[in-house]
Amino acid sequence: MGRFFWKFLLSYWAALLLVVLGIGLTTWLYRLADEGRDASLESGPRATFVAESAAATLRHGGVAALRGVMEEWRRHGDVELYAVDASGRDLFGRPVSPDVLERARARAESDLEWKGARRVDLPGGESWILFVPIGHRSGLARFFRAGAPPSPWVPLLVGAVVSLVFGAALAWYVARPIRHLRAAFASLSAGHLETRVAPLMGRRRDEVADLGRHFDEMARRIQSLVGAQRTLLHEVSHELRSPLARLQAATGLARQNPQKLESSLERIEQEAERLDDLVGQLLTLSRLEAGVADASRARLESTDLVDLVASIAADARFEAESCGKDVVFSSHGETVADVRAELVGRAVENVIRNAVKFTAPGTVVEVTAGADAADAAFLVRVADRGPGVAESDLDAIFEPFYRGAAGSSGPGFGLGLAIARRAIAAHGGRVDARNRPGGGLEVEIRLPVGAPGLLPHRSA
Amino acid sequence: MTRVLLVDDDVALAGMLREYLHGEGFDATTAHDGEVGVEEALSGRYAIVVLDVMLPRLSGVEALRRIRTQSRVPVLMLTAKGDDVDRIVGLELGADDYVPKPCTPRELVARLRAILRRSEAGAAGPGGPVTTGPLSLWPERRHAEWEGRPIDLTSTEFNLLEVLARNAGRVVTKAELSEQGLGRPLARFDRSIDVHISSLRQKVGRLADGRSYIQTVRGLGYQLVRE
């Protein structure tokens, strides 16, 4: 049981005790004020009403009518009214102690609100006293009325015990999930990212359970982010290793046979360039992920997007032709927008290069550029005739270091599309891929240009 | 020339290593994925196999498992530096040794020679079994028996067991085991000996009182129990 439990329990208990004390005090004062209390006579509204009714009957119907009414009441057995005449005899001959009669008489004369007794003087000079003595009622009422009034300590004690029990239950109910949450936070901060609290919350539906759900959501996100970072680091170290292994092999060859020095140096240069390229791409990727692109919106340049894509397509065509492939470019309209031309250019270039790399020899990569129908976005579509991508992997190809199922062993690191997606996302746009009917992949770059300047949204 | 099979998906690297190995007097053949690698390794044409752990289609570890189900050809694993899991799994599956990648080709050749020397030295050694208790070893045939039943050991396991058997009743340090059994000095944090010994323990029977035949002498090394 933590501090929270005790605080909750004690304050709840104190509050209930105060209430009980307050009520007890009020009742006690009320009783003090009830000056006309009498241990032998009924008072209160009910007895008063009975006495009044009987008095009215007697006044207007005489003794015979009263007797009739009283017989009726006695049959039902709920009221024991006594009607005593001036000589002290009850109408039904029931014994009446002179003491009680004396009290009833006094009460009938009093000016209390609820007398519960009546004196009736008939025109014939007869005088009757009507009252309801205590002790002629049944069961529970008698039990409570019989003894002395209970001490004010009794309700206080009962209240204390009951409130203690309920307070403990309530405090436990509230404190338990908080204890679970506290343990979960401790576990998470100790590095157990798989910690979840939902199973411990059971079927609760309240604020604490909501908190638990938010905790789980947070833990899940942290876990997936850390996992992605870990994978990235693993991939990076693996990618760095391959050029290094080749560097070492080339150095070894040069040492072993000085005649191979020239070819080895060439190889070493190649690998050094490759390493440089990899490090450069990783830096770009990490800058994009860190949101540097957002921070430097000041560097937005007004750019003719169609022209930008056209020049990249032309370069790609030049390279593609050397390996028996082709790139055709078509466009419509003209779109000028404020973008970071270098980032957008690199994104488009990466997508087109990727298409050229995968399209089958002898086929054509089609690049189209232009505003979409609603004129709200600038679209670039790059379609190849390569092997395409498994439907389930259409999103995964934009992850860093994605390798196709066949384990593509071509040049490149698998960073191009990842950089493209993040660069376009930094402009509030998106890059998606779908397989083409008839084979091949089509990648669509959608850059919103509706508003002047570009939206700086970045999808995480 | 000693025939070496080089299984590595990095075509450029494999090509250069083949060239280097040729210069060192090896006849190297390359394979670029696990499936081809396993097929070639099981052909019986090679004295030793160099196997990269990261392979497309069939991982190096899985390839090793397949090779070991049918062959005891010595296998040298190329593992990623710092990835202990691959290394230990590889050794447990019966790899003879490992080289962290990237490594210098010189180091690779040194390891290859060490493994080959061990397996050939045994074959050329003096005849007659080395017998200690229920264990008999025929180094020239690379054959081992426990209570008359043959046990299937990899080349490295045989070497380690032979070193222990020749020194039965005496504690053999890990450094000695590494020098004599693996043919290389013991490196810091190198757990290969422990992994090999652990798989040896599973192959070699237990003593009548249930103790392991190969005793660990903590902080020193290992010892074969001598009755």
Domain A3-155 has CATH 3.30.450.160: yes
Looking at the fold, whether B133 and B213 belong to one and the same domain comes out as yes
Looking at the fold, whether B39 and B54 belong to one and the same domain comes out as yes
Task: Output DSSP code: residue A258.
Answer: G
* Contact criterion met (CB below 8 Å) for A423 and A343: yes
User: Would an 8 Å CB–CB cutoff place A333 in contact with chain B?
Assistant: no
User: Do A249 and B101 lie within an 8 Å CB cutoff?
Assistant: no
What range defines the domain where residue B159 resides?
126-224
User: Do B9 and A409 lie within an 8 Å CB cutoff?
Assistant: yes
pLDDT of residue A245 exceeding 60, the answer is: yes
Looking at the fold, whether B33 and B117 belong to one and the same domain comes out as yes
Interhelix angle for A261-290 vs A416-425, to 10°? 30
From A245, A253, A256, residue closest to B101, measured CB to CB: A245
- Name the active-site residue from A214, A234, A238, A332: A238
- DSSP H helices, A378-439, are 416-425
User: Do B106 and A252 lie within an 8 Å CB cutoff?
Assistant: yes
- Both tokens assigned to A260: 């191979």
- Residues of chain A with pLDDT > 70: what percent? 87
The residue length of chain A stands at 460
Q: Determine what percent of chain B falls in helix, strand and coil, rounding each to the nearest 5.
A: 45, 25, 35
pLDDT confidence tier of residue A460, bands split at 50, 70 and 90? very low
User: Do A246 and B16 lie within an 8 Å CB cutoff?
Assistant: yes
Average pLDDT, chain A: 81
* Contact criterion met (CB below 8 Å) for B163 and B156: no
β-partners of residue A377 are A448
Of the residues A247, A248, A409, the best mutation for testing chain B's interface (the one with the most B CB atoms within 10 Å of its CB) is: A248
Give residue A410's pLDDT: 57
pLDDT of residue A297 exceeding 70, the answer is: no
Give residue A54's pLDDT: 86
Average pLDDT of A76-93?
80
The pTM for the full model equals 0.59
User: Cβ–Cβ contacts within 10 Å for residue A272, how many?
Assistant: 12
What is d(CA A429, CA A423) in angstroms, rounded to the nearest whole number? 9
* Contact criterion met (CB below 8 Å) for A276 and A413: no
Which residue bears the tokens 């599956």? Answer: B93
What is d(CA A394, CA A432) in angstroms, rounded to the nearest whole number? 8
Looking at the fold, whether B23 and B36 belong to one and the same domain comes out as yes
Of the residues B8, B9, B17, B19, the best mutation for testing chain A's interface (the one with the most A CB atoms within 10 Å of its CB) is: B19
pLDDT confidence tier of residue A411, bands split at 50, 70 and 90? low
pLDDT of residue A59 exceeding 80, the answer is: yes
pLDDT confidence tier of residue A34, bands split at 50, 70 and 90? low
* Contact criterion met (CB below 8 Å) for A442 and A383: yes
User: Cβ–Cβ contacts within 10 Å for residue A245, how many?
Assistant: 24
Looking at the fold, whether B81 and B16 belong to one and the same domain comes out as yes
Residue A318 burial (CB < 10 Å; 0-12/13-18/19+)? exposed
Residue of A nearest to B104 (CA): A248
What is d(CA A18, CA A455) in angstroms, rounded to the nearest whole number? 61
- Both tokens assigned to B2: 């000693």
Give residue A140's pLDDT: 45
Looking at the fold, whether B156 and B215 belong to one and the same domain comes out as yes
Looking at the fold, whether B43 and B138 belong to one and the same domain comes out as no
User: Would an 8 Å CB–CB cutoff place B12 in contact with chain A?
Assistant: yes
Residue of A nearest to B107 (CA): A252
User: Would an 8 Å CB–CB cutoff place A240 in contact with chain B?
Assistant: no
Give residue A454's pLDDT: 44
Of the residues B11, B13, B55, the best mutation for testing chain A's interface (the one with the most A CB atoms within 10 Å of its CB) is: B13
- Both tokens assigned to A196: 């979840």
From A241, A255, A409, residue closest to B80, measured CB to CB: A241
Give residue B82's pLDDT: 67
Average pLDDT, chain B: 85
| E strand or H helix at B121 | helix B105-124
Looking at the fold, whether B130 and B41 belong to one and the same domain comes out as no
User: Would an 8 Å CB–CB cutoff place B56 in contact with chain A?
Assistant: yes
What is d(CA A289, CA A458) in angstroms, rounded to the nearest whole number? 9
* Contact criterion met (CB below 8 Å) for A364 and A331: no
Domain A193-290 has CATH 1.10.287.130: yes
pLDDT of residue B127 exceeding 70, the answer is: no
The CA distance from A271 to the nearest CA of chain B, in Å, is 11
User: Do B102 and A253 lie within an 8 Å CB cutoff?
Assistant: no
pLDDT confidence tier of residue A455, bands split at 50, 70 and 90? very low
Looking at the fold, whether B207 and B134 belong to one and the same domain comes out as yes
Residue of B nearest to A250 (CA): B16
Looking at the fold, whether B52 and B101 belong to one and the same domain comes out as yes
The CA distance from A252 to the nearest CA of chain B, in Å, is 6
User: Do B81 and A241 lie within an 8 Å CB cutoff?
Assistant: yes
User: Cβ–Cβ contacts within 10 Å for residue A38, how many?
Assistant: 16
Tell me the C-alpha to C-alpha distance, in Å, between residue B210 and each of A329, B164, B213, B215, B225. Answer: 78, 20, 9, 12, 12
User: Do B105 and A247 lie within an 8 Å CB cutoff?
Assistant: no
Task: Output DSSP code: residue A35.
Answer: T
β-partners of residue A130 are A83, A118
What is d(CA A130, CA A120) in angstroms, rounded to the nearest whole number? 8
Contact residues for A171 (Cβ-Cβ < 8 A; gap 6+):
A4, A5, A6, A8, A9, A12
Which sequence spans correspond to the domains of chain A?
Answer: 3-155, 193-290, 298-448
Give residue B81's pLDDT: 67
* Contact criterion met (CB below 8 Å) for A176 and A200: no
Which residue bears the tokens 């590494």? Answer: B178
pLDDT of residue A374 exceeding 80, the answer is: no
**Residue B25's CATH number:** 3.40.50.2300
Q: Determine what percent of chain A falls in helix, strand and coil, rounding each to the nearest 5.
A: 60, 15, 30
Give residue A453's pLDDT: 42
A154-168, A338-352, B122-136, B205-219: range with lowest mean pLDDT: B122-136
User: Cβ–Cβ contacts within 10 Å for residue A102, how many?
Assistant: 12
CA-based end-to-end distance of chain B: 44
pLDDT confidence tier of residue B20, bands split at 50, 70 and 90? very high
User: Do A244 and B17 lie within an 8 Å CB cutoff?
Assistant: no
What DSSP string describes A70-87? HHHHHHHTS---EEEETT
The CA distance from B20 to the nearest CA of chain A, in Å, is 6
Rg (CA), chain B: 17
3-state secondary structure of B103: coil
* Contact criterion met (CB below 8 Å) for A448 and A376: yes
Looking at the fold, whether B131 and B107 belong to one and the same domain comes out as no
Work out how many domains chain B is built from and give that number.
Answer: 2
* Contact criterion met (CB below 8 Å) for A317 and A330: no
Give residue A458's pLDDT: 36
pLDDT of residue A27 exceeding 70, the answer is: yes
pLDDT of residue B80 exceeding 80, the answer is: no
| Global ipTM | 0.73
What is d(CA A343, CA A364) in angstroms, rounded to the nearest whole number? 25
pLDDT confidence tier of residue A37, bands split at 50, 70 and 90? low
User: Would an 8 Å CB–CB cutoff place A236 in contact with chain B?
Assistant: no
What is d(CA A305, CA A371) in angstroms, rounded to the nearest whole number? 10
B52-56, Cβ contacts within 8 angstroms, sequence gap of 24 or more: B52/B7, B52/B8, B52/B9, B52/B10, B52/B77, B52/B78, B52/B101, B53/B77, B53/B78, B53/B79, B53/B80, B53/B83, B53/B86, B53/B90, B54/A238, B54/B9, B54/B80, B55/B7, B55/B8, B55/B9, B56/A406, B56/A407, B56/A409, B56/B9
Which residue bears the tokens 């009850």? Answer: A90
Looking at the fold, whether B166 and B115 belong to one and the same domain comes out as no
User: Do B20 and A238 lie within an 8 Å CB cutoff?
Assistant: no
Among B121, B147, B173, give the residue marking a domain's end.
Answer: B121
pLDDT of residue A136 exceeding 70, the answer is: no
User: Do A256 and B20 lie within an 8 Å CB cutoff?
Assistant: yes
Average pLDDT of B211-224?
87
pLDDT of residue A115 exceeding 70, the answer is: yes
From A246, A257, A407, residue closest to B57, measured CB to CB: A407
* Contact criterion met (CB below 8 Å) for A215 and A222: no
**Residue B191's CATH number:** 1.10.10.10
Of the residues A246, A261, A275, A403, the best mutation for testing chain B's interface (the one with the most B CB atoms within 10 Å of its CB) is: A246
* Contact criterion met (CB below 8 Å) for A447 and A424: yes
**SS3 assignment for A306-350:** HHHHHHHHHHHHHHHHCCCCEEEEEEECCCEEEECHHHHHHHHHH
Indicate the residue type of A405.
A
The CATH number of A298-448, from 3.40.50.2300, 3.30.300.30, 2.30.110.10, 3.30.565.10, is 3.30.565.10
pLDDT of residue A457 exceeding 70, the answer is: no
User: Would an 8 Å CB–CB cutoff place A402 in contact with chain B?
Assistant: no
Q: Is A238 a catalytic residue?
A: yes
3-state secondary structure of A123: coil
Among B121, B152, B173, give the residue marking a domain's end.
Answer: B121
What is d(CA A372, CA A430) in angstroms, rounded to the nearest whole number? 14
What is d(CA A384, CA A441) in angstroms, rounded to the nearest whole number? 5
Interhelix angle for B11-23 vs B105-124, to 10°? 50
User: Do B16 and A250 lie within an 8 Å CB cutoff?
Assistant: yes
pLDDT confidence tier of residue A340, bands split at 50, 70 and 90? confident
